[in-house]
């Protein structure tokens, strides 16, 4: 981490700027943990769908429900369109994880 700090440079960084950046760094660590927790839950959903005999990975209705809740919950300052784009990307990533899990599972069955 010290190398990273040297590479990015701290010249002229005020104590306030350092404090704010430390808070951002801490939030980033929390966000990463939460995003990975969400991804693991999505993988569990995928396994539950397989166990229930559901073949499809994408659930467009469920995605719409989530996007609606996200839009309603968004109080800014992130613009609505940008936040929804982030969530659509999150859906794409978790669908890819689910697809990879399914491929591994099918390969293990054969």
Task: From residue 12, give the alpha-carbon distance in Å to each of 16, 21, 25, 39, 85.
Answer: 11, 14, 19, 39, 35
| Phi/psi of residue 61, nearest 5 degrees | -60, -45
Reading the block at residue 105, the tokens are: 């599972």
Question: Domain for residue 3, yes or no?
Answer: no
Question: Domain for residue 55, yes or no?
Answer: yes
Which of residues 23 and 3 earns the better pLDDT score?
23
Q: Has residue 3 got a pLDDT over 60?
A: no
Number of domains in the chain: 1
Reading the block at residue 15, the tokens are: 């104590």
Question: Domain for residue 73, yes or no?
Answer: yes
Q: Has residue 110 got a pLDDT over 50?
A: no
Q: Has residue 60 got a pLDDT over 90?
A: yes
Question: Domain for residue 4, yes or no?
Answer: no
| Mean confidence (pLDDT) of the chain | 92
Reading the block at residue 109, the tokens are: 């069955």
Torsion of CA 29, 32, 35, 40, to 10 degrees: -110
Q: Which of 1-10, 20-29, 56-65, 79-88 has the lowest mean pLDDT?
A: 1-10
pLDDT of residue 108: 85
Mean pLDDT, range 9-32, rounded to an integer: 93
Torsion of CA 71, 74, 79, 80, to 10 degrees: 0
Question: Domain for residue 67, yes or no?
Answer: yes
Mean pLDDT, range 12-34, rounded to an integer: 97
Question: Domain for residue 17, yes or no?
Answer: yes
pLDDT of residue 5: 58
Q: Which domain holds residue 44?
A: 10-109
Contact call for residues 89 and 66 (beta carbons, < 8 A): no
Domain CATH number, residue 51: 1.20.59.10
Question: Domain for residue 50, yes or no?
Answer: yes
């Amino acid at each position: 981490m010290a190398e990273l700090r040297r590479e990015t440079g701290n010249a002229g960084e005020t104590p306030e700027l350092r404090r704010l950046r430390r808070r951002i760094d801490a939030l980033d660590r929390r966000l990463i943990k939460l995003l990975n927790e969400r991804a693991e839950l999505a993988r569990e959903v995928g396994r539950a769908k397989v166990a229930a005999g559901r073949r499809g990975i994408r659930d467009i209705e469920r995605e719409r429900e989530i996007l609606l809740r996200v839009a309603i919950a968004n109080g800014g300052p992130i613009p609505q369109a940008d936040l929804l784009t982030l969530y659509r990307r999150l859906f794409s990533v978790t669908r890819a994880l689910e697809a990879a899990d399914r491929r591994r599972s099918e390969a293990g069955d054969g």
